Amino acid sequence: MIRVTVRSLATRKLRAALTALAIVLGVAMAAGTYIFTDTIAEAFGGIIASSYTNTSAVISGTAQTRSGTGDTAGVPAGLLAAVRALPEVEAAAGGFLDLDQPRPVTLTSSDGRRLTGGPDATLGLGVDPADSRFNPLELTSGRWAARGGELVLDAGTAERRHLAVGDAVGVATLGRTTPFAITGLARFGAVRSLGSATIAVFDVATAQSLYDKPGQYGSISIAAARGISQERLVQAVRPLLPATTEIRTADQVAATAAADNARDAKQVSTFLLAFAGIALFVGAFVIANTLTITVAQRTRELATLRTLGANRRQVLAAVLLEALLLGAVASAAGLLAGLGLAKGMDALLTASGLELPKAGTVLAARTVVVSLLLGTSVTLLASVVPAIRATRVPPILAVREGSTLPPHRLARYIPYISLILTAGALTAICSALFISGLAAKTVLLLLAAGSAGLFLGIALLSARLVRPFAAVLGWPAARLAGAPGRLARANAARNPSRTAATAAALMIGLTLVTFVAVLGRGIQRSTGAAVDRLVQADYVLTAADGMSPLPVGVTDAVDDYAEVSVVSSVRQEMAHLQGTELPVSGVDGNFTRLSHIDWAEGSDGVLTGLGQDEAIIAARFAKEHRIGVGDTVRLTTSAGREVAFVVRATYRDSLLGPVAVTRQSFDTTFGQSRDAFALLAVRGGPSSAHQARLERALAGFPDAVVATKAGYVASQEGHLDSTMNLLYGLLGLSVVVSLFGMVNTLVLSVFERTREVGMLRAVGMTRRQVRRMVRHESVVTALIGAALGLPLGTGLAALVTYALRDEGLVVDLPIRALAAFAVIAVASGVIAAVLPARRAARLDPLRALQYE
């Protein structure tokens, strides 16, 4: 039986190759994900390792929050001499080398064009050029910056922006742009690229000036004397430290950075593996459908084996062995394809503005094992039902012409099974969406299981819908294509189970992209409507990327424009409140004149008269944490400072964060911070003249942009576009897998109908008509998938939207996108039919009539 199985595969190379492609793509996605994330982890690991090679301990300012743009406590410069005097210390140097504390830098070209900054995560470092012991960077050309007006740039950014040693650039940190010259290029050890991040290295004095840290360092790096352990060094230094600083061993710092790196890599890996799972899920449909068809077509062959003495167990083993060999070969090919797909993932993320650091490609043993087991297991599982059907072939069928497999024993119960499965899946999905208090993992598990069950249930049920769908969706083909169109419609309805399984693979992909489109559109519209309602200003001033804070002095620059009647800027920083890290806003008295606040308890007058030790908070946050008006809350800043505020009002909706205080209180609490955005009103309302003058006022601030209210609303709606495009690209893989499933079914259908096609050719059907018949059959099948997928995706999105209705989310159907998906389905059908149609048209009528 083994020889028979291998020979069977060898004589059906095309069928085997087309069947394997579905698994190849799914495994390639999984392998590519592991290779991609392992490579990124290796790059970050190289950065971490090179950062602390010669360091035993690090003194830094205390940081209570993981994110934020404000002031983290610095390290007094006077502490350096005391540290160096300790006998346990061999060397120590102060600088700005703490990579986990982003110090923003924006580079501009000589003509004012913005080169870096914002989402590019530009970091400003300060090193002492006379002491290279603690410097994690290596020069690739030039020299270190030694005075004001000089900087060293990372080699990756220089290559990306076509910069070289000697070039002049503009540098903006907290305020206006000042000219600098590039004196050198550097890199982190063996890491070739820092991705979209930029490292700008200054001398220590310049960094202190740029970041307004006179008499302070960002950190002090210490090397222990010979024979002194890191722990003993920390114990010796700790008594010297002020309350706003902390000391950790280099191993602790590296371990923390590695843990953060591992957590981020795992999040990326989990995100991408979810799409690999979707592709493999679709691939399982394709494999099961293909093997079912091949078993049905080999009825006489299997019956002959039974006649010659093969028992049911041997037939079962033969079909499973065929699937095992196919899965193993496909998995190996998918593993190789994953190497190329990893580069494709990097290109896709780069195009979405999420470029990551790069090092040498990493192919771990885990990647090989998981990829091979995953593809082989999915193929074997998908082959179980077809294999069992193969065992039920009676030997008598070997002598019957046109024999077919008897119906499955459970065939009569399939509609009931599908209804029970669908109902159970919807129950799981609704439980995840509407039952409060469930753990995040439980919610994800319910959603995943519910979605898989829903797809299976609909796929089983769709066999009953194929004939009416084919009659309706095939009507245009029957009217426009004549006899080939009528035959195509009849062929699509001839074997409902086969057509349903083929359409189901496409249905899954279309359901998911429709879900993303409808939900994304609803989020965009809801966001736009909320911003439009809350913003009452003529102009909104934001950072160029829409996320970073504004440079210092921007608000003053536009306020100098005589036609500006009212300005209100909002500052924002991260803090802890009752164990939750959240943004805190600082506002002035003009805010309510330019922005609407939907008050729950309170009014605009409360904000106008807010005291130094008073705050207003979001009603939802107050409810979740049982905070009422009049209660006292305690905020802990990133520098570790704790400040008490009395709650004076709550609001349902606002442009502010969950907590807001006065500008004076904010500056006192957080130190120097920058505005998150600013609202402007001008005399006479917005106009092109006002726009041009405001833009001229901001010429020295490349990170700042001014937009009309309508433009700001549009930009807020557009922030989701890059995320949606990324999801479309990843979900497109499942559509490609389903495309191969359609090709498979059509090719096997042409094999199955070889004599029929020969008869049609013999009675006068032309090759063109044959191609048209196969093409229209493919299009009808694809339209059935679209007819199932588009409503299902829309319904799921509507269900999620209803669950999030309290967030202001509404259903807004993207008609153009849905129409585009329908067109994509038709195009998929046309593309899938190219090879089968050519094969059918090229059949020799006489040989086809003799085919068995």
Asked if residue 88 and residue 114 are part of one domain, the reply reads yes
Total number of domains in the chain: 3
φ, ψ for residue 108, nearest 5 deg: -125, 155
Instruction: Assess whether pLDDT exceeds 90 at residue 632.
Output: yes
Angle (nearest 5°) at CA 786 between 782 and 788: 120
The two tokens of residue 456 are 């299976």
Asked if residue 511 and residue 574 are part of one domain, the reply reads no
- pLDDT tens-digit map of 557-611: 777 777 888 888 898 888 888 878 889 999 988 899 999 999 999 899 898 889 8
- The pTM of the full predicted model, rounded to 2 decimals, is 0.75
The two tokens of residue 92 are 């120590």
Instruction: Tell me whether residue 280 is in a domain.
Output: no
Q: What letter represents residue 846's amino acid?
A: L
Give the residue carrying structure tokens 């050890």: 189
Asked if residue 846 and residue 756 are part of one domain, the reply reads yes
Instruction: Tell me whether residue 496 is in a domain.
Output: yes
C-alpha span between 225 and 229 (Å, rounded): 9
Q: Which residue has the higher pLDDT, 224 or 502?
A: 224
Give the pLDDT of residue 296.
Answer: 67
Asked if residue 626 and residue 697 are part of one domain, the reply reads yes
Instruction: Assess whether pLDDT exceeds 60 at residue 478.
Output: yes
Give the pLDDT of residue 719.
Answer: 75
The two tokens of residue 145 are 């910056």
- pLDDT tens-digit map of 408-425: 666 677 788 888 989 999
> What is the rounded end-to-end Cα distance, in angstroms, of the chain?
22
> Residue 421: which of 453, 465, 460 has the closest Cα?
453
| Residue 645 burial (CB count, 10 A) | 25
Instruction: Assess whether pLDDT exceeds 90 at residue 82.
Output: yes
Instruction: Assess whether pLDDT exceeds 80 at residue 699.
Output: no
Q: Among 191-195, 283-287, 510-514, 728-732, which is the least confidently predicted range?
A: 191-195
Average pLDDT, the chain: 82
Residue 298 binned pLDDT confidence (cut-offs 50, 70, 90): low
Give the pLDDT of residue 112.
Answer: 66
Instruction: Assess whether pLDDT exceeds 80 at residue 722.
Output: no
CA distances from 212 to 118, 207, 423, 492 (A): 20, 8, 62, 73
Asked if residue 758 and residue 617 are part of one domain, the reply reads no
- Using an 8 Å Cβ cutoff, are 552 and 696 in contact? no
| Residue 373 burial (CB count, 10 A) | 13
Instruction: Assess whether pLDDT exceeds 70 at residue 544.
Output: yes
Give the residue carrying structure tokens 């390290």: 75
Instruction: Assess whether pLDDT exceeds 60 at residue 840.
Output: yes
Q: What is the DSSP string of 190-223?
A: T--B-TT--EEEEEHHHHHHHTT-TTEESEEEEE
Final residue in a domain of this structure, among 191, 223, 243: 243
Beta-strand relationship, 199-203 and 123-127 = parallel
C-alpha span between 574 and 637 (Å, rounded): 7
Asked if residue 661 and residue 636 are part of one domain, the reply reads yes
SS (H, E, C) 534-593: HECCCEEEEECCCCCCCCCCHHHHHHCCCCEEEEEEEEEEEEEECCEEEEEEEECCCHHH
Give the residue carrying structure tokens 């006065």: 662
Residue 70 binned pLDDT confidence (cut-offs 50, 70, 90): very low
Angle (nearest 5°) at CA 234 between 230 and 235: 120
Q: Which residue has the higher pLDDT, 543 or 582?
A: 582
- pLDDT tens-digit map of 453-471: 888 888 888 888 888 998 9
Q: Give percent of the chain with pLDDT exceeding 90.
A: 16
Report H helices in 615-672.
Answer: 619-624, 663-670
Residue 119 binned pLDDT confidence (cut-offs 50, 70, 90): very low
Instruction: Assess whether pLDDT exceeds 90 at residue 86.
Output: yes
CA distances from 580 to 577, 703, 806 (A): 5, 30, 21
Angle (nearest 5°) at CA 710 between 704 and 715: 55
Which domain, by its residues, includes 728? 469-532+720-852
Q: Give percent of the chain with pLDDT exceeding 70.
A: 87
Angle formed by the axes of helices 815-832 and 767-803, nearest 10°: 150
- Using an 8 Å Cβ cutoff, are 632 and 645 in contact? yes
Asked if residue 690 and residue 839 are part of one domain, the reply reads no
C-alpha span between 807 and 372 (Å, rounded): 44
Asked if residue 216 and residue 73 are part of one domain, the reply reads yes
φ, ψ for residue 597, nearest 5 deg: -120, 125
Beta-strand relationship, 659-662 and 580-587 = parallel
> Residue 448: which of 374, 512, 356 has the closest Cα?
512
Residue 503 binned pLDDT confidence (cut-offs 50, 70, 90): confident
Give the residue carrying structure tokens 């409503």: 791
- pLDDT tens-digit map of 192-243: 556 667 888 999 999 888 888 888 898 899 999 998 999 999 999 999 998 8
Instruction: Tell me whether residue 404 is in a domain.
Output: no
- Using an 8 Å Cβ cutoff, are 650 and 602 in contact? yes
Q: Name the percent of the chain in helix, strand, coil, to the closest 5.
A: 55, 15, 25
Give the pLDDT of residue 236.
Answer: 93
- pLDDT tens-digit map of 637-669: 876 788 999 999 999 989 898 999 998 899 888
Asked if residue 505 and residue 475 are part of one domain, the reply reads yes
Q: Which residue has the higher pLDDT, 130 or 252?
A: 252
Give the pLDDT of residue 645.
Answer: 94
SS (H, E, C) 249-299: EHHHHHHHHHHHHHHHHHHHHHHHHHHHHHHHHHHHHHHHHHHHHHHHHCH
Residue 152 binned pLDDT confidence (cut-offs 50, 70, 90): very high
Helices (H) and strands (E) in the chain, counts: 29, 23
Final residue in a domain of this structure, among 641, 668, 702: 702
Instruction: Tell me whether residue 406 is in a domain.
Output: no
Residue 72 binned pLDDT confidence (cut-offs 50, 70, 90): low
Q: Which residues contact 687 (CB under 8 A, 6 or more apart)?
A: none
Asked if residue 612 and residue 505 are part of one domain, the reply reads no
- pLDDT tens-digit map of 776-818: 989 999 999 999 999 999 999 998 888 888 777 888 888 998 9
Angle formed by the axes of helices 815-832 and 721-752, nearest 10°: 30
> Residue 739: which of 277, 285, 272 has the closest Cα?
285
C-alpha span between 157 and 140 (Å, rounded): 13
> Helix (H, G, I), strand (E, B), or coil: what is residue 330?
helix
Angle (nearest 5°) at CA 384 between 382 and 386: 90
- Using an 8 Å Cβ cutoff, are 480 and 522 in contact? no
Asked if residue 589 and residue 527 are part of one domain, the reply reads no
Give the pLDDT of residue 585.
Answer: 92
Q: Among 220-234, 244-258, 264-278, 296-310, which is the least confidently predicted range?
A: 296-310
Instruction: Tell me whether residue 394 is in a domain.
Output: no
Instruction: Tell me whether residue 609 is in a domain.
Output: yes
Instruction: Tell me whether residue 595 is in a domain.
Output: yes
> Helix (H, G, I), strand (E, B), or coil: what is residue 114?
strand
CA distances from 504 to 34, 126, 479 (A): 28, 58, 26
C-alpha span between 443 and 456 (Å, rounded): 20
Give the pLDDT of residue 69.
Answer: 47
Give the pLDDT of residue 81.
Answer: 92
Asked if residue 214 and residue 95 are part of one domain, the reply reads yes
> Helix (H, G, I), strand (E, B), or coil: what is residue 643?
strand
Element (H, E) at 633: strand 632-637
Can you tell me the mean pLDDT for 689-714? 84
Final residue in a domain of this structure, among 193, 208, 243: 243
Instruction: Tell me whether residue 154 is in a domain.
Output: yes
Give the pLDDT of residue 281.
Answer: 82
